[in-house]
Structures are given as structure tokens and as C-alpha cells.
Structure 1
Amino acid sequence: MDTHSRMVDTTHQGMPRKAAFSSAMGSVLEWLDFTAYGVVSATVFPKLFFPTLDPNSALLASFATFGVGFFARPAGGVLFGLLGDRIGRKQVLMITFLLMGFSSLLIGLMPPYAVIGIWAPILIVALRFMQGFALGGEATGAQLFTMEHAPADKRGLFGSFINLAAPASQVLANGLLFAIAATMSELQFESFGWRIPFLLSIFLIVLGAYIRTRVTETPAFKALKERQSQIRSNEQEKSDRKNWPTIIRLILFWAAPCTCYYVVTVFSISYLGSQNDLPKQTIFLCLMAANAVAVCLTLAGGYASDQFGRKPALITAALVVLAVMPFYFSIMNTGNALFVFAAMSLVVGAIQAQSGILPAFFAEQFPTSSRYSGSALAYTGANLIFAGPTPFVATWVMHESRGGTYWLTAICMALIVISFAALLASPETRYVDINAPE
């Protein structure tokens, strides 16, 4: 082998790691601001942007703006998914990254209702929509970018690095807000402290853009472009239509994990503060520690799926959520920080173990020509229908039941059963060749 060939081979061997690192870092930075919005929507946004409403209505309105990000994600997933299947994964990921960064920066600069009146909530909703629109393309694109670069026998592990973003962003966001809240008065935090994570987006933009220029387009997409002239458009349309049963099944599978995740990481913040009067710092610390545990379990889930198969690992994690969720709010009601941390860790950890398997499991369900758009529709569709409305619906259900948690628990349990059935109906995809000709 000549010197040039050895250099090309070495570069190719190192590219999967570069792809995984760039996708994971970019996703963590993007999810940080998306997550920080969820935290502040449960704490300071009702006062700053909806001061004319009573406290419960203000909280509902604030959670409604949180849900807007999820309603935008399918639109972003569809548009960027179609673009990603046509112009490439790498170019689309750069666009989504810059869009997320600038919208988050503008949220940090947004004046409150007291300064600009009704324009404050209107602009917050618009910027939240932009956040969700960008993340709709980013979430799936980063997963596929890594999956299509990864070695066939390590797709689960490599994919799990991408979905470290959600728990890692929870650790960073809650850790940062915990530190800010601990060093500022309530008035200072509500005035400018909450803005700090969003203003840091300027560093997100610079660092993320640099990281993503260091990797090449995926081998699967390059091979697709070489074959594409041989694929007739009508044959492609038939293939796309065949994907819809798979998309619906995956939406139903992800219904419970995404719903329960936001019950714990967003709704629990306001619930604990109102029902048990736990200090903000304690709540942030419990959630931060639980997500630190979840980071480890995300990697464990991906690794286990490579060793034992996607479905056995997913089923095991689902059974943990099924066992804990009926008692979750009873544990919250104790007001004991250690018990709260343990319950959060079990639920979020099990869900993140599933999330670590999700990139491989979703990518292996679709052909290369529709993998981005199909995966994006399934993932963002589940978040639109189930995750986005979760804080709003949970708050409304709690209000209607006068503080009781029975109906909210019943909803979570029903979704867990539906998700479990969809999972059992899914094929095992551990040995699927995602680079095979279609």
C-alpha cells in the first residue's frame, strides 16, 4: 500500500469517531438552550411574559409556549429531512445549528412584558418556534450522521453518544441555573440571571460551526448519490409510501418515553415547588444529579443493544419505567430530596437507556433514500403529539383534579402500555445493513 492509500485509510478509520464527537457536541450545545427554556418556562416566564394572568393561567400559558417548540419540530423534521435526503446530511446540520444558535441568543435578549407589552409573549413564541424548527432537523440528522459513519457492530454504542445530548443538557442547564440561583437574589434571577444560558449561545455558534466543518459526508449518502440516477422517481414514491406503517409504529413506540421524560424534567419542577415548597436550588440539584446518572445509562443502553439486540435492551428499560411510574408522584409528595432524586434517576435513567438505543433502532428501519425524512417524521411526530403538550396537559389535569395525581398517572400508564405493544410488534434490526443497495 502506497503512502497516499495509507493516509486515506487512516482518515477513513478515524472519521466515525470524528462524526460521533461532532454530532454529540453539537447536539449537547443545541439541547442546552432548548432544555433551559423548559426550566425557565416552569419558573420565571409566567411572571415576566404573562403578568396579567392569574398564577395558574400564567403557568399554563408559559407551558403552552414550551409546547410550541414541539409543534415546530415536525415541520423542521420534514423540511430538513427532505433536504438531508437530497443535498446531504452535513450541509443540513450546519443550517440547523446556526438557526438554533441565533434564535436562542435572541431569547436571552428578549425584553419582558413590562417593557414591550404584548410583543414580549408574541416574540417569545416566534423564537421558541424557531428553536423547535431547527431541533426538528438537528435531532434526527445528528443521529443519522453518526449512524452512517459508525462500524456495523457498534452502531448502538456510537448512536448512544448522540442521545447523551438530552441528559447532558439537563445537567448543564440545571447545574448552571442552580449556580445562578444560589448566587443571586430572587429579583436578580428573574431580572437577568435566567438569560445567561441563552446569551452563551454566541459561544455555541462559534464552537459548533468549527466542529462540524471537520467531518465529511456519510458513506451511505455518497453511495446513494452514485446510485440515484438509476432509481426511477415512481419507484422511489412507492418506497416512501411503504414507510408510513413503520413511521406510525415508531411514533406509538416513542409516545411513553418522551411523555414521561417531560413529566419528570419539566412538570416536576413546578409541581415540587408548588406542592412541597422545595427550594429551586434543591429541585435543580435533584434533576441535575438524576440526569448525570442518565448520561451513563444512555451509553449503557447503546452498548447493551449491540451485545444483546435492540429489542431486549429496549424492553428491559421499558419494564423499569412501567414499575416506577405508578409510584412516582407519591415519592415526590414525600418532599425528601433523596427519594426525589432516586425516583427521577430511575425514570429518566431508564428512558435515556432507551434513548441511547433509539438512533440505531430508528435508522435501521428505513432505506438510505428516505432514512432522514422517515426517522425525522417518526421522532418529531411522537414529540409533537405526546411530548409537546405534556407540561400543559399535566398542569391542566392537576388543576381539574384539585391537586390529585391519579389521572396524570393513569395517562402515563396508558401510554406506557401502548408503547410496549408497539415495541413488541417491531422487528429486531441489530444485523440490518444500512449501507446495502435499495
Structure 2
Amino acid sequence: MSGTTTPSLDAQSPAKQASSRNLKRAAASGWIGSALEYYDFTLYSQAAALVFPTIFFPTASPAVAIIASLATYGVGYVARPIGAIVLGNMADRRGRKHVLVIAMMMMGLATLAVGLLPTYSQVGVLAPIMLVVLRLVQGFAVAGELGASNALIAETAPDAKRGFFASFSVQGSQIGSILAIALLLPLASFLPDEAFQSWGWRIPFLLSAVVIIAGYLIRRHIEEPAAYLKQSAQAREFKTPAVELFRRYPRLLMICVISTLANVIGTATLVFGITYGKQESYGIGFTTSDFLWIILIVNSASALTIPLFGRLSDIFGRKALMVTGALGGGLMSIPYLFAVQEKNFALVLIFGLLAMSVFFQMWNASFATAYQEQFPTRLRVTGFAVSQNVGLMLAAFAPAVFTIMAPPGADNIPMVIGFTTLAIAVVAAGAALCLRNGAGKSFEE
């Protein structure tokens, strides 16, 4: 009897080793790829608040310049639903790895081009037009990144630890943000303001050339997960997965879109909050380096909490963390904005950590896996990408809307924007309660 048992055990060992290798490669690919892509995306979001109002949108009205610059930040999100449909369809029909390479290459080229753009003073209105076009390319590309990379990891990971392993792609986005701020911070701190506004801000954008090379080297050896390969033939039968998605799962899509509005916590604190504290027209007086330090510390702390909350979502379920995170993050935005108004660096940092590194990351570390668990394999990336990116598109325009609601000179800005953020977060938390709990369950169940 031992003669039949031993070969069976020996035969399982190489398979287990191969599975472990595939999981490590998938997690590493998702982590590194997300880091590189969100390095690019973060550069733009910070430059939109710190630099672009003066060099691309000069105007007699500071409020108009701020709104225009923040609107271009939001424009990138307009392209994301289109990218979600195109790249999501490709990922579901042709495989996850193809989309991951294409998305990274597009993002790298677009960001590199931003660093080479002439300013408004050099070419006039052509400068902001080119900026908007490149922002649209960025948005299109990044729409396919998190959905495909998270699906790759989630479909490879063991069911009991799916949330933990899938959180690495989300953590990678934080690392990318940290790298972007780590490059911007010394430039903004040590260069004269005129030099930083003229050429210093371009350096991190030009370094995106590394993404173009790394995109191919990192992802060319990725293997498609077994869960996808089992249904790949069926997936190819649907030439337009997005059509099937809208026809069969409209209610689920709407729930995920509304839940994604929890991202308004981040846009209220780390986009509008920066504009509110730093722009001269608001009269508060924070410096560029002040906020870059705050963002760097908050993102560093978030990189540590994301895997923790990902693991906790495997134990307690995704919904518990998503609801708690949305409500807590929305609530913390109120004292955060009051701290900005009082120009209290320590309190801004404390409430920023609570809002973004603790509560929001409860939601952020859980949502990607939760959404992946809602859709069948043949529609998984499309379902995730469309619902996430439509919600993000809506949340991305919040800073521009907030500036219209509370322009320079307005009264009670922390109350108006803080309670608006809380109200949206409550709606997002309610939507999260409607999601199916897939923690610990097989994708086939």
C-alpha cells in the first residue's frame, strides 16, 4: 500500500511548488505594476494641485485657475470607463497578462510626454489642450490595471487568503504614490520656487521612461490563472462582455458604482484639502513641502495597513471593513479640514492618518476582492473595471465641485465640504451592505 501512496504524494509536490511560484509571480506582478502605474497617476494629481494652476491655466481669477486645473485631474477619470470597457473586454476574452503590459506601456508614454509639454506662456491654449489629451490617455490605461492585476492574483490565491494576497496590488498603488511624492518632495523643498515651477516638477515625469522598459520585463513571464483558463473558451464566445454585463447585472453594477463613491474621502482630503491649504487665494499658508510630507507619511502608513486589512477581510468578511471604513473616513474628513483651516500641521497629519491610513484603507483593501467575487470569471475584469472606474470618475470631479461650492473667501468651508463628504460616504457604505459575501468561498461556488 505504501508503494501506491508515496508516488501520489511525490506527484503532488511539483504541482504545489508550481502553484506557489505562480502565486508569488502574480502577487509580485500586481504589486510592481500597480506601483509603477500609480507613480505616474499620483504625479499628475499632485501637480494639478501644486503646479498646473499657474503654468497651464494662468487667469486673472485664482478660483478659475484652480477649478480648471482640478477639472483636468477629473478628465482623466472620464476616459477610465471607456478604458474599463475596452481593456476589460480584452482581459476577459484574451487573458489578463496582455492587458497588463499594454496598460503599463500606455501610462508610461503618456506621463513621459507630460514632462515634455510646453507651458501656456510658450504656446498658449495649445498647452492645456495637450495636457488634457495626455490625461485622457492616462485614464484609459490605468482603468485596465487594477482590475486585471487584482483578478490575476485573486484567481491564483487560495480561497481562504484571497483578500490578503489581492491586497498587494492595492498596496502597490500606495508604493507608487510614495515614490512619486519622495521625488517631488526634495525638489519642492530645496529648489527655489521659480525653478520648481519652471523645470523642477518635470523631472519625476521624465523618469517615467523607466516604466516603458519595466513594463515589458516585469510582465512577459506571467502565467494566466487556472480559474481563467478553465473558462477561457466560454469567455471568447462573448465578443462583447460589457454588453452581457449591462444586460445581466445592472443592479450589481449600480451597487458597486455607488460603493466606489467612498473614494470621495481621498479626493476631499488629499486633493481638495491640499488646494484649500496651499493655494494663496484661500489665505491659509501651507507650503508645498508641508503637504508633500503629509502625503508621504499618510501613504507610507497606508502601505503598512493595507495587507493587515486585506487579511482581516478574509476573517471578518469584506462588507464589515468596507462599511466601517467608509463611515469612519467620511467622519474624519470634517476635523481634517478644520485642522487645515487652523494651519495646524500636527492635527492635519493625525486626522489625515485616521481618515486615509486607517478608515479608508479598511474599505480600499477590501473592495477590489469584494468586487471580483461578485462577477463570474468570464466577466470578472470587465465587471470590476467598469463599476470601479465609473464610480471613480464621479468621485474625481469632487475637488472641482467642492471648489465651486466653497470658493476662496467662502465661509464655513470645513463644515460644507466635510459634511458633504460624510453624506456621500454614508451612501457608499449603504451600497456596500448589499454586496454578496464571497470571503473564503471558491469562485466556482
Whether contact under 8 Å (1:77, 1:376) holds in the other structure is: yes
* Residue type at the aligned position of 1:136: A
Change (3 A) 1:189 1:254: same
For residues 13-67 of structure 1, what are the alpha-carbon distances to aligned partners after superposition, in whole Å with 9 as ceiling and x for unaligned?
A: 2111110111111111111111111111111111111124422111111111111
Give me the whole-angstrom Cα distance separating, in 1, the residues matched to 2:191 and 2:241: 61
In the alignment, what sits opposite 2:377? 368
5 Å matches for 1:233-244?
241-244=247-250
Counterpart in 2 of 1:261? 266
Alpha-carbon contact 1:298-1:354 (below 8 Å) kept: no
Q: Report what 2:401 is aligned to.
A: 393
Is contact 1:16-1:151 (8 Å) kept? no
Q: Secondary structure at the match of 1:430?
A: coil
Supply the distance in 2 between the matched residues of 1:15 and 1:101 (Cα, whole angstroms). 26
Check the 8 A contact 1:73/1:134 in 2, yes or no: yes
* 8 A contact 1:167–1:352 mirrored in 2: no
1:123 aligns with 2:130: yes
Please state how far the C-alpha of 1:99 moved relative to its aligned partner.
0.6
Structure 1 unaligned residues grouped into runs of 5+:
none
The partner residue of 2:254 within 229, 232, 248 is: 248
The reply on whether 1:85 has 2:103 as its aligned counterpart is no
1:4 to partner: Cα distance: 9.1
Whole-angstrom CA distance in 2 between matches of 1:235 and 1:289: 40
TM-score by length of 2: 0.92
Whole-angstrom CA distance in 2 between matches of 1:235 and 1:216: 22
Using the TM superposition, give the Cα deviation of residue 432 of structure 1 relative to its aligned residue in structure 2, in angstroms. Answer: 3.1
Instruction: Return the match for 1:298 from 282, 287, 306.
Output: 306
- In the TM superposition, 1:26-425 aligns within 5 A as 26-227=33-234, 241-255=247-261, 257-274=262-279, 275-349=283-357, 350-385=359-394, 387-399=395-407, 402-405=410-413, 406-425=415-434
Q: Once superposed, which parts of structure 1, at least 4 consecutive aligned residues long, lie more than 4 Å away?
A: 1-9, 226-229, 231-240
2:188 touches 2:196 (CA, 8 Å); kept in 1? yes
Other-structure match for 2:3: none
1:240–1:370: 8 Å Cα contact kept in structure 2? no
Matched to 1:365, the amino acid is Q
Distance 2:58 2:304 in 1: 40
| Contact persistence 1:85–1:370 (CA under 8 A) | yes
- TM-aligned CA deviation for residue 240 of structure 1: 5.6
Q: By how many angstroms is 1:233 displaced?
A: 8.7
Q: State the Cα distance separating 1:431 from its structure 2 match.
A: 3.2
Q: CA deviation at 1:191?
A: 1.0
CA contact (8 A) 1:315 1:423 kept: yes
Letter in 2 for 1:252: I
**Within 2, Cα distance between the matches of 1:421 and 1:142?**
27
Give the 3 Å change call, closer, same or farther, for CA 247–424 of structure 1 in structure 2: same
Is there any run of 5+ residues in structure 2 with no aligned partner, and where?
A: 1-6
Displacement of 1:154: 0.9
RMSD: 2.3
Secondary structure at 1:123 match in 2: helix
Q: Secondary structure at the match of 1:215?
A: coil
Cα-to-partner distance string for 1:334-384 (whole Å, 9 max, x where unaligned): 212111101111111111221111221010000001111111111001011
154-163 or 398-407, which moves further after superposition? 398-407
**Compared with structure 1, are the counterparts of its residues 24 and 116 closer, same or farther at alpha carbon in structure 2 (3 Å cutoff)?**
same
CA change 1:401–1:432 in 2 (3 A) is farther
Task: Give the number of aligned pairs.
Answer: 433
Question: Which amino acid in the other structure matches residue 318 of structure 1?
Answer: A
Change (3 A) 1:322 1:396: closer
Q: What is the identity, as a one-letter code, of the residue corresponding to 2:212?
A: I
Which stretch has the larger CA shift, 352-361 or 322-331?
322-331
Q: What is the alpha-carbon distance in structure 2 between the residues aligned to residue 433 and residue 254 of structure 1?
A: 24
Q: Percent identity?
A: 30
- What is the CA–CA distance in structure 2 between the aligned matches of 1:238 and 1:54, rounded to whole Å? 47
Q: Aligned letter for 1:48?
A: I
TM-score by length of 1: 0.93
The separation in 2 between residues aligned to 1:327 and 1:182, in whole angstroms, is: 27
Matched AA of 2:190: T
Q: What does residue 434 of structure 1 align with?
A: 443
- Evaluate the alpha carbon distance shift between residue 402 and residue 301 of structure 1 in structure 2; reply closer, same or farther with a 3 A threshold: same
Which has the higher mean CA deviation after the structures are superposed, 149-158 or 308-317? 308-317
User: In 2, Cα distance between the equivalents of 1:228 and 1:238?
Assistant: 11
Q: Which moved more, 1:203-212 or 1:16-25?
A: 203-212
